[in-house]
């Protein structure tokens, strides 16, 4: 059910729900996060409180950041800097980590938190970049790294290309 300012109250049916900004406390694993001006829709008759989907989305990043902090996960900035340090763009890094491209973009924009295992994996790759080979089976799976193509002088020998190994 979606709620909107001015709607009649779905609980009592007598009052109307109005948008108010209120101090709201969120709890995650025993830790509290306070948002001073959280938008609530409050019934003017029974005082029941509702949150519109649109309003709750405004605080997705802030609450996800809180959740990451409690869980001790890498921040979006840390994820981006690990990816850049290893020389990947979002698409190729998502492919390496075997996660959807859109999901990975959400970790970097802070919309949703990465799993604990993915967090560990990124930390390991950051500390020991040579372990990328363990995932890729010793091949350089990053198409965005410098690729140099070499053709032999005599094309009848066939041609080949090689990728500079950066890892
Ligand atoms: Zn009501």
**In this structure, are 89 and 139 located in the same domain?**
yes
**pLDDT attached to residue 57:** 87
Cα of 54 from ligand 1 centre, angstroms? 21
- pLDDT grade for 60, boundaries at 50, 70 and 90: confident
Q: Rounded distance, CA 27 to CA 50, Å?
A: 18
Write down the pLDDT at residue 1. Answer: 73
Can you spell out the DSSP letters for 92-114? HHHHHHT--HHHHHHHHHTSSPP
Containing structural domain, residue 24: 1-57
Residue carrying structure tokens 């709890």 = 27
- Of the listed ranges 15-29, 118-132, 142-156, the least confidently predicted one is 142-156
Q: Are residues 47 and 92 in the same domain?
A: no
Identify whether residues 81 and 47 lie together within a single domain. no
Q: Convert the pLDDT of each residue in 72-107 to its tens digit.
A: 999 999 999 999 999 999 999 999 999 999 999 999
C-alpha of residue 28 to centroid of ligand 1, in Å: 28
* Dist CA 51 CA 66 (whole Å): 19
Query: Has residue 159 been placed in a domain?
Result: no
- The reply to whether 119 and 88 lie within a common domain is yes
Q: Which helix (H) or strand (E) holds 162?
A: strand 162-163
Q: Give 3-57 pLDDT, tens digit per residue.
A: 889 999 999 999 999 999 999 999 999 999 999 999 999 999 999 999 998 898 8
Model confidence at 149: pLDDT above 90: no
**Predicted local confidence at residue 158, as pLDDT:** 38
Residues 133-151 have a mean pLDDT of 62
Question: Is residue 73 a contact partner of residue 119, using CB atoms and an 8 Å limit?
Answer: yes
Same domain, 110 and 144: yes
User: How many domains would you assign to the chain?
Assistant: 2
Assign residue 22 the CATH number of its domain.
3.10.20.860
Query: How remote is the CA of residue 11 from the centroid of ligand 1, in Å?
Result: 5
- Residue 1 C-alpha to ligand 1 middle, in angstroms? 15
At 148, is the pLDDT very low, low, confident or very high (cuts 50, 70, 90)? Answer: very low
CA atoms within 13 A on the CB side of 49: 9
Look at residue 63 and tell me if it is in a domain: no
Residues 6+ apart with CB under 8 A from 75: 65, 68, 110
């Amino acid at each position: 059910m979606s709620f909107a300012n001015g709607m009649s109250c779905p609980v009592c049916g007598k009052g109307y729900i109005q948008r108010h900004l209120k101090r709201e406390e969120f709890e995650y694993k025993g830790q509290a996060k306070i948002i001073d001006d959280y938008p609530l829709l409050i019934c003017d008759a029974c005082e029941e409180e509702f949150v519109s989907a649109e309003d709750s989305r405004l605080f997705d990043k802030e609450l996800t950041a809180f959740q990451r902090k409690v869980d001790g996960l890498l921040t979006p900035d840390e994820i981006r800097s690990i990816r850049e340090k290893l020389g990947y763009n979002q698409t190729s890094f998502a492919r390496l980590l075997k996660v959807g491209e859109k999901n990975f973009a959400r970790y970097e924009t802070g919309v949703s938190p990465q799993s604990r295992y993915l967090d560990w994996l990124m930390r390991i790759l950051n500390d020991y970049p040579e372990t990328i080979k363990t995932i890729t089976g010793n091949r350089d799976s990053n198409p965005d790294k410098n690729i140099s193509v070499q053709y032999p002088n005599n094309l009848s020998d066939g041609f080949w290309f090689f990728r500079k190994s950066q890892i």
